[in-house]
Amino acid sequence: MKRRTFLYQTSVVSLGFLSLSRCVQKGQDTAKSNVLPLKSDPEKYLDLPESFSYKIISKAGNTMSDGLRVPGRADGMGAFARADGKVVIIRNHENSPAPLENSPFGLEGELLGLVDISKLYDAGKGELPGLGGTTTLVYDEEKGEVIEEFMSLAGTYRNCAGGVTPWNSWLTCEEDTTKADGENIEKDHGYVFDVPADSIGLVEPRPIKAMGRFNHEAVAVDPQTGIIYQTEDASDSLIYRFIPENPEDLHQGGKLQALAIDNRPKLDTRNWKERGVEQGIGYSVVWQNVDEVDSPLDDLRIRGFEAGAACFARGEGMWHADGQIYFACTNGGPKNFGQIFRYDIEKEQLELFAESEDKTVLHMCDNVTIAPWGEVLVCEDNGELNRMHFINREGELRLFAVNQSSKSELTGAVFSPSGKTLFVNVQENGETVAITGPWEKLQVV
């Protein structure tokens, strides 16, 4: 992805998230009046609007090009343009060493012989290798089919979310802080790894330890400075930023900092018991240094909060947009239905944009992506009925898809560079879906 393209694709997010704030404030009646009618799927899989269709393009357990099995529990994804017109998709897999049904190496590890063990981050002594990591798919958009599929990072634990970078790669994050035990667990976990979009097989699994060891969720890169912002999936999480010594080589190290509110140390932004933050107010931010970033105790958030950092409710999806960083807190707010925050990089101000109080409108939003015409597409993760919603520039929420096949969350939603195809995972089903249709009918003038 060229730098100019990256800046354009992230710049449209600001409009979308402003709409998201207004949408939640408008409430159920207004949102319902703008719902896009869906057609009931006779297969009871995925309800979509008229003239839209879906195709399952990848399924857990199937054999990939490298002879391994498609791993289960697909999560965050990034999509990249290839010189020959094909689409490269890098897909996370949120797996621990068990259950083996999600393994790329077969139910009894019988396919481990196909892999260079040195390319596994944690081989688990050959008995319990990490089953997380990333797969790379090469997709022919004209034919609507996957032409190549292979493991691109292996041996990690619970690769949940991540983020695209200006240098044409995917930063994939471990949402796990398991420690090496001297037996079957060979390595500490809780790190970020860089997977280039042009890799043609397993990459060298090099953890970027200076970015901190914690329950990583998502990252967003400021292309102007190379600073990387990070969320943490914990009920008492912090928001971090990593200032690299060399943005072109993150392994050279850098400085990790945590977000704090000026003159309001240890601010609780979750609004669970009492209201710590109000919508529409810009809170001045200071960044405090974090030491012992590779701590074996998984205590960065605890030490950071005690030192004055602000506390957040399960930081998850994150995106950079034209000088702003947006991030979701999945169960923030007095009803635990979720919050959206915005951080203005230049002004160094944090603002609560959205706080859902009606789950029929929006219920625990998680992954987000941006449509080519500028609307926000939101995926829900609530364990009940999971949907995708478009939110336009006027703040009108329109239902786009409903998972009728299971209670699984929809993950990793991302548009192809051409804008013709939307890719999304039905995580617990183990399936990746390509959605096509008359997108021009959804565009906002």
Query: What is the chain's pLDDT, residue by residue, as a tens digit (445 residues)?
Result: 444 444 334 433 333 444 444 445 444 443 343 346 899 999 999 999 999 999 999 999 999 999 999 999 999 999 999 999 999 999 999 999 999 999 999 999 999 999 999 999 999 998 899 999 999 999 999 999 999 999 999 999 999 999 999 999 999 999 999 999 989 999 999 999 999 999 999 999 999 999 999 999 999 999 999 999 999 999 999 999 999 999 989 999 999 999 999 999 999 999 999 999 998 899 999 999 999 999 999 999 999 999 999 999 999 988 887 788 888 899 999 999 988 888 999 999 999 987 888 898 889 989 887 888 877 788 999 999 999 988 776 656 789 999 999 999 999 999 999 999 999 999 999 999 999 999 998 886 4
Between CA 48 and CA 182 the distance in angstroms is: 50
Candidates 342, 385, 391; CA nearest to 363 is 385
Query: Token pair 């809780």 is at which residue?
Result: 190
Amino acid letter, 430: G
**pLDDT computed for residue 395 by the predictor:** 54
Between CA 159 and CA 172 the distance in angstroms is: 6
**pLDDT computed for residue 4 by the predictor:** 40
Strand order in the sheet with 87-93: 74-81, 87-93, 132-140, 145-156
**pLDDT computed for residue 374 by the predictor:** 76
Candidates 196, 156, 195; CA nearest to 174 is 156
**202: which residues sit within 8 A by CB, 6+ positions away?**
115, 116, 119, 151, 152, 153, 154
What is the pTM (predicted TM-score) of this model? Answer: 0.92
Asked whether the CA dihedral 182, 184, 190, 192 is positive or negative, the reply is positive
Say if CB 311 and CB 323 are below 8 A apart.
no
**pLDDT computed for residue 317 by the predictor:** 87
Say if CB 249 and CB 266 are below 8 A apart.
no
Between CA 230 and CA 291 the distance in angstroms is: 16
Between CA 79 and CA 370 the distance in angstroms is: 12
Strand order in the sheet with 422-426: 53-59, 431-436, 422-426, 410-415
Query: For every residue of 77-123, which 3-state class applies, written as one string?
Result: EEEEECCCCCEEEEEEECCCCCCHHHCCCCCCCCCHHHCCHHHECCC
Angle made by CA atoms 106, 137, 417, in degrees to the nearest 5: 155
**pLDDT computed for residue 24 by the predictor:** 52
Query: Token pair 């999971």 is at which residue?
Result: 386
**pLDDT computed for residue 31 by the predictor:** 39
**pLDDT computed for residue 25 by the predictor:** 46
Helices 3-11 and 13-26, packing angle to 10 deg: 20
Strand order in the sheet with 365-370: 38-39, 46-49, 397-403, 387-391, 376-380, 365-370
Amino acid letter, 124: G
Joined tokens for residue 43: 């297969």
Between CA 216 and CA 220 the distance in angstroms is: 12
Residue 128 DSSP label: S
Say if CB 37 and CB 47 are below 8 A apart.
no
Say if CB 266 and CB 309 are below 8 A apart.
yes
Residue 440 DSSP label: G
Candidates 122, 245, 249; CA nearest to 176 is 122
Between CA 27 and CA 340 the distance in angstroms is: 16
**How many angstroms separate the Cα of 224 from the Cα of each of 6, 25, 127, 178, 227?**
11, 33, 44, 34, 8
Candidates 231, 226, 234; CA nearest to 255 is 226
**42: which residues sit within 8 A by CB, 6+ positions away?**
none
